Amino acid sequence: MALEMTGTNASKIAAALLEARRQAGSPSMGMVMTLVVVTDEGDHYDSLRAARAVSREHPSRILGVIRRSGRGAANLDAEIKIGDGGSGEQVLLRMTGELTKHPESVVLPLLLPDSPVVVWWPGKAPDDPARDALGALAQRRITDMAAISRGRAHALLQQALNYEPGNTDLTWTRLTPWRALLAAALDQYPAKVTGGEVAAEGSNPSADLLAAWLCDRLGVDIERTRSKGPGITSVRLATGGGDIEISRPDGVLARFSIPNAPERPVALKRRLTAELLAEDMRRLDPDDIYADTVKRLCRLAGRRPPNIEETLSTKQDPPQSRRTPRDTAKTGKPAKIAAKTAGPRKSATKAAKKGTKKTGTPTAAHSRTRTSTTKKAARKSTRKSTR
């Protein structure tokens, strides 16, 4: 079923979704989460198609958000699609005018009650997803630094510096088969690794992450060398008994070799976006290994890593409570949880400021936006609770 609505608002869209479910004869909802896809006119077809494919594994309400020109009158158009190769509902929201600055006002009322929210930026993503108005609504924020055309390495570092629990990047997800194979190699040949090398095409953020991960886990220097690609072409780990090497010159079939064993072929395909997304959505708790890896990435780049240790302590709280002070104000349980959420944030800001003194980097700007968003959120919450 497909339905187009122009000049509409969130409550009309919600009503239309309910009506559509009733008409389908099965008003119950099997959807388990909301997936917000922040996309644009050029890309929404592909990214929503990937999202629909994922919804077969994770039945979800998919909200596509397109922010069009900020000029002109504020307007919201919506395209509703139900069925059609996915399981769940899909709404494509087109925003124009001043509304483009407040997309969360449309998305918030359309979130499924009491279930997780994932925000995915298939293309360009905010430098600090957790402080983004839409990102702040989510438990899981998925970016893809390989999707941007220029300055990927820098963009990845930026994401790493602004890491917050719940952030992940598809460049990390792409590594899972490589990491699995490397772990299997060390299962088969448990030797002390003394050094290593990751070879990939010039701008490949996944390769940078892989090198950082290996360096972090193995405690040795990992050389990052350039090759012609495609993607990552080989990983070599040096041990006393010889090299462990996985090489994939053609992007499809890899050769797997460990000391004292015959070389073997392994299919190591580059996966589709939908598969990557499905993997990411399988677990919605913070990815601690990714956190360690981005910290290492920052250190390798000579930058101060994000202060994750303290923010990690919020992990014990249910995801909703750590999201924003807004929620706590709404539920009227201010003191204890608010203090907890505020605690690490304050110190994170402090740490970031300290960091800026040394390096004089964009973190400074971020720490400022951070406080301002928090304030804004607090203001909003008071407004809401008085209503």
Partner 1 sequence: MTSPGTVVPDPNPLRDDQDRRLPQIAGPCGMVIFGVTGDLSRKKLMPAIYDLANRGLLPPGFSLVGFARRDWAHQDFASIVHDAVKEYARTEYRDEVWNQLAEGFRFVPGDFADDVAFDQLRTTIEDLDRERGTAGNHAFYLSVPPKFFPDVIGQLKEHGLADGQHGSWRRVVVEKPFGHDLKSAQELNAIVSQVFAPESVFRIDHYLGKETVQNILALRFANQLFEPVWNSHYVDHVQITMAEDIGIGGRAGYYDGIGAARDVIQNHLLQLMALIAMEEPTSFDAHNLRTEKQKILRSVKLPDDLDLHTSRGQYVAGWAGGEKVKGFTDEDDIPKSSTTETFAAIALEIDTRRWAGVPFYLRHGKRLGRRVTEVAVVFKRAPHLPFTQTATEELGHNALVIRVQPDEGVTVRFGSKVPGTAMELRDVNMDFAYGGAFVESSPEAYERLILDVLLGEPPLFPQHEEVELSWRILDPILEHWESVGKKPDPYSAGTWGPTSADEMLARQGRNWRRP
Q: Is 183 helix (H, G, I), strand (E, B) or coil?
A: helix
Name the minimum Å distance from CB 253 to partner 1.
4
Name the minimum Å distance from CB 6 to partner 1.
32
Nearer to partner 1, 13 or 300 (CB): 300
Name the minimum Å distance from CB 265 to partner 1.
5
Name the minimum Å distance from CB 7 to partner 1.
33
**Near partner 1 in 12-41, by CB under 8 A:** 28, 30, 32
Name the minimum Å distance from CB 298 to partner 1.
19
- Which strands form 140-143's sheet, in the order they lie side by side? 2-5, 75-82, 89-96, 60-67, 33-39, 117-120, 140-143, 167-169
Element (H, E) at 36: strand 33-39
Q: In angstroms, rounded to a whole number, what is the distance separating the alpha carbons of residues 148 and 330?
A: 37
Asked if 11 interacts with partner 1 (CB under 8 A), we say no
Size of the site for partner 1 (CB under 8 A): 48
* Site of tokens 């483009």: 100
Nearer to partner 1, 87 or 371 (CB): 87
Give the helix ranges, DSSP H, for the chain. Answer: 10-23, 44-55, 103-110, 152-161, 170-173, 176-188, 205-218, 273-282, 288-300, 308-312, 319-323, 325-331, 334-359, 363-386
Q: Which stretch binds partner 1 (CB under 8 A): 2-10, 227-235, 255-263, 341-349?
A: 255-263
DSSP structural state of residue 387: -
Q: In angstroms, rounded to a whole number, what is the distance separating the alpha carbons of residues 273 and 47?
A: 8
Non-local CB neighbours of 239 within 8 Å, separated by 6+ positions: 189, 191, 192, 193, 194, 259
Give 195's strand partners: 238
Q: In angstroms, rounded to a whole number, what is the distance separating the alpha carbons of residues 278 and 269?
A: 16
Sequence-ordered strand ranges (E) for 48-185 = 60-67, 75-82, 89-96, 117-120, 140-143, 167-169
**Near partner 1 in 113-172, by CB under 8 A:** none
Non-local CB neighbours of 193 within 8 Å, separated by 6+ positions: 186, 218, 220, 237, 238, 239, 244
Q: Which stretch binds partner 1 (CB under 8 A): 39-47, 62-70, 175-183, 313-321?
A: 175-183
**Near partner 1 in 48-67, by CB under 8 A:** 56-59
Q: In angstroms, rounded to a whole number, what is the distance separating the alpha carbons of residues 277 and 125?
A: 16
Q: Which stretch binds partner 1 (CB under 8 A): 90-98, 157-165, 174-182, 309-317?
A: 174-182
Nearer to partner 1, 259 or 343 (CB): 259
- Judge contact between 109 and 40, C-beta under 8 A: no
Asked if 268 interacts with partner 1 (CB under 8 A), we say yes
Asked if 265 interacts with partner 1 (CB under 8 A), we say yes
Q: Which stretch binds partner 1 (CB under 8 A): 3-11, 12-20, 149-157, 266-274?
A: 266-274
Asked if 365 interacts with partner 1 (CB under 8 A), we say no
Name the minimum Å distance from CB 316 to partner 1.
15
**Near partner 1 in 283-302, by CB under 8 A:** 283, 287-289
Mask: binding to partner 1, 208-247, rule CB under 8 A, as x and -? ------x--xxx---------------------x------
Nearer to partner 1, 132 or 245 (CB): 245
The amino acid at residue 330 is K
Mask: binding to partner 1, 75-114, rule CB under 8 A, as x and -? ------------x---------------------------
Mask: binding to partner 1, 180-209, rule CB under 8 A, as x and -? xxxxx-xxxxx--x----------------
* Residues of the shown chain interacting with partner 1 in the complex, contacts defined by CB under 8 A: 28, 30, 32, 56-59, 87, 173, 176-177, 179-184, 186-190, 193, 214, 217-219, 241, 252-253, 256, 258-262, 264-269, 278-279, 283, 287-289
